[in-house]
Amino acid sequence: MAETVPLQQRIARVIRQDVQSTHGYAIQDSKGLVKLDAMENPFGLPAPLQRELGERLSRVAINRYPVQSTADVVAALSRYAQLPAGCKLMLGNGSDELIDMLSVACDVPGATLLAPEPGFVMYRMSAQLRGLRFVGVPLTPEFELDRAAMLAAVEHERPALTYIGYPNNPTCNLWDDAVIDEIVAAVGAQNGLVVFDEAYQPFSSRTWMQRMASHDHVLVMRTLSKFGLAGVRLGYLCGHAALIDEVEKVRPPYNVSVLNAEATLFALDHADEYARQAATLRAERERLQTAFRTLPGVRSYPSEANMILLRVPDAKRTFEGMKARGVLVKNIGAALGHPLLANCLRLTVGTPQENTLMIDALKASL
Ligand SMILES: *Cc1c(COP(=O)(O)O)cnc(C)c1O
């Protein structure tokens, strides 16, 4: 059969206009650089654990669809996370997929998603791609929740879903608990759901996991990406059983591969190793903060995550200077284009050696 129109015309006809005009999620090329741009755990596994992982993966039945492996991971994570009684847990191929499943499940007519901004970009992106309204409520210039604006937005927009980054990416902070309590109550009164995104849980001093038990409209979402398995893609969503049962219906049945599942079970069997790594990263975070505080013209913001937000005099110059010196961070102000983030860089906490390189590169690039 003859093709009658050039591909560009076909694309113009069949691909959504809004998809054609977006750029997609940009990932920086990190070849040859110290990679401190994506909140990855910098530590590899000790050789004996590498061998054990290899042996375990070699025994996995890759000819079968993942069924029992998914159930095993749900059980292991429920224990690891100390899931409260009456609650359930479901799996996503990373929490990015869970965010998308929530958009699908909550796409009732007129549904709105709400989140403070600047925040994690996938909330907005998923809403857009799934055709839901998204309302971003600006944080204050100090990156605190704007209590009045948040409560007014909840009242006025009656969002189906409100996302709270706990702590928030890229501002790294846990917000005022009293304000969060008010928001949770207000969303409850409007018959909506609140999702606490705890992607940075290993580095954070607080969690909503146990508090969720007494609020049936609250969900807690976590991921093993920042824990140390970014390459494995494993996210989990926790909430009251009846609610998780509903969201579970939109989960693609085989979304977590048997290899991802086995790697997750392996990591949870060695949770002590990952806990040591997280402790090192928390200590390194404090070392970085101390170093950054001495730099003239630099403001570093408090962090409950494995990243630090810095405001520098000229973010473009500093970002490029650091890159020229072999250290890749994120020019988050430029990437998100949010006015509150003008001249802000986001730095991932690396190994002690990487962090020393980062401090030196930063000093030389201001
Ligand atoms: C990294 C991150 C995620 C996504 O994690 P994946 O499980 O890798 O998809 C979700 N939320 C926040 C706030 C993040 O920073």
Ligand 1 and 292: CB distance under 6 A: no
Distance of alpha carbon 197 from alpha carbon 145, whole angstroms: 15
Report the half-sphere exposure of 23 (CA within 13 A, side-chain side). 5
Ligand 1 and 115: CB distance under 6 A: no
282 Rama sector, left if φ>0, alpha if ψ -120 to 50, beta otherwise: alpha
Q: How far is the CA of 49 from the centre of ligand 1 (A)?
A: 26
CB neighbours of 259 closer than 8 A, spacing ≥ 6? 57, 60, 62
pTM: 0.96
Residue 1 pLDDT greater than 60, yes or no: no
* Nearest CA, atom 14, ligand 1: 199
Distance of alpha carbon 217 from alpha carbon 203, whole angstroms: 25
- 263-310 pLDDT, tens per residue? 999 999 999 999 999 999 999 999 999 999 999 999 999 999 999 999
**Nearest-atom index, ligand 1, CA of 120:** 13
> Of 122, 177, 113, nearest to 144 (Cα)?
177
- 11-62 pLDDT, tens per residue? 999 999 999 998 877 789 999 999 999 999 999 899 999 999 999 999 999 9
User: Do strands 327-328 and 193-197 pair parallel, antiparallel, or not at all (unpaired)?
Assistant: unpaired
